[in-house]
């Protein structure tokens, strides 16, 4: 699914003052991201506060974003229930989305065989490209490289978002899977290192604020100008880390609000960034002339 491109943004969900989904602002933000280099959007993923969105809100978001942007939309629909995941997938399909992001089931802690069966059953229930999402820091279970290899042989499982933070595991996924199976890092700070070991791109949070610079970094690497790519990597290192100083998406929503892009606060159990966190993020942003 190379049509998804190399710089996918996991988009935040804007809320109004009542913490209702601001669909108009979501469309505006989506178009801004595309203008700055985003090649596809993940909607209602971790960064989009998917766990606190209702099924109806997710469906409305999928439909409105898909209707109003020019790049592929990948719907975050995974849950810790296989049946619910399939139900969510079918609702997303009705909106004409271009792919599904399916996270490893959280809390249940399935073993590797159970993980394989979960994804296999979901994949067989829908006819649409699927990106696996491995984020053990949030789910409590890790999709091992052997399981990724097995899953990559299923026709419509076409990509992986590897957010374990483990470059060795990402390397194993690249090594074990076919060339047309695309491995993306889910860690902004590992974008350049991941490209160097064969990853296709990144599913990014930082692209909300430094999308054009990340695009330049990726393109520089692809053109063989590793010196320029490395220079940009080090320029962005502080903001990459700063946007994860506390739980995502707390920092990135604070950053966007500081830039005048009104995305509102967060739904509980997440709460808005404290003044000390905002000050740290702002310090990193000033170095890049973002505020």
DSSP reduced 3-state for 24: helix
Give, in order, the Cα–Cα distances in Å from 222 to each of 33, 49, 184, 195, 225: 21, 32, 15, 9, 7
Query: How far apart are the C-alpha atoms of 141 and 231, rounded to whole Å?
Result: 35
Q: Is 210 annotated as a binding residue?
A: no
DSSP reduced 3-state for 235: helix
Query: How far apart are the C-alpha atoms of 277 and 270, rounded to whole Å?
Result: 14
Give, in order, the Cα–Cα distances in Å from 156 to each of 17, 31, 63, 159, 191: 40, 28, 22, 9, 25
Q: Is 191 annotated as a binding residue?
A: no
Among the listed residues 23, 58, 66, 133, the single catalytic one is 133
Q: Is 66 a catalytic residue?
A: no
Among the listed residues 167, 99, 180, the one whose alpha carbon sits nearest the alpha carbon of residue 132? 99
Query: How far apart are the C-alpha atoms of 164 and 177, rounded to whole Å?
Result: 17
- According to DSSP, residue 189 is labeled G
Radius of gyration of the chain (CA): 18
Cβ atoms within 10 Å of 196's Cβ, excluding its own: 14
Query: How far apart are the C-alpha atoms of 238 and 245, rounded to whole Å?
Result: 10
Among the listed residues 58, 161, 215, 253, the single catalytic one is 161
Could you list the active site residues?
133, 161
Residues making up the annotated binding site are 47, 203
Binding residues for pyruvate: 47, 203
């Amino acid at each position: 699914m190379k049509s998804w491109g190399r710089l996918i943004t996991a988009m935040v969900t804007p809320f109004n003052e009542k913490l209702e989904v601001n669909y108009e602002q979501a469309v505006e933000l989506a178009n801004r991201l595309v203008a700055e280099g985003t090649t596809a959007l993940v909607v209602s993923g971790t960064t989009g506060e998917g766990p606190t969105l209702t099924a109806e809100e997710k469906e409305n978001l999928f439909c409105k974003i898909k209707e109003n942007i020019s790049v592929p939309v990948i719907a975050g629909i995974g849950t810790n229930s296989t049946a619910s995941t399939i139900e969510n997938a079918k609702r997303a399909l009705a909106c004409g989305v271009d792919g599904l992001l399916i996270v490893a089931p959280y809390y249940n802690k399935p073993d590797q065989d159970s993980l394989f069966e979960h994804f296999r059953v979901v994949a067989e229930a829908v006819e649409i490209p699927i990106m696996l999402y491995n984020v053990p820091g949030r789910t409590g279970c890790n999709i091992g490289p052997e399981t990724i290899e097995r899953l990559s042989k299923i026709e419509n499982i076409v990509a992986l978002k590897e957010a374990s933070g483990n470059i060795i595991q990402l390397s194993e996924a690249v090594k074990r899977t076919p060339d047309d199976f695309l491995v993306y890092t889910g860690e902004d700070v590992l974008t350049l290192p991941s490209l160097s070991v064969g990853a296709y791109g990144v599913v990014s949070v930082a692209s909300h604020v430094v999308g054009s610079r990340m695009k330049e970094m990726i393109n520089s690497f692809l053109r063989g100008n590793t010196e320029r790519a490395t220079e940009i990597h080090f320029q962005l290192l502080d903001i990459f880390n700063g946007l994860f100083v506390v739980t995502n998406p707390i920092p990135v929503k604070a950053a966007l609000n500081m830039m005048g892009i009104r995305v509102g606060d967060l739904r509980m159990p997440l709460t808005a960034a404290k003044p000390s966190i905002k000050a740290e993020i702002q310090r990193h942003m000033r170095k890049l002339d973002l505020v």
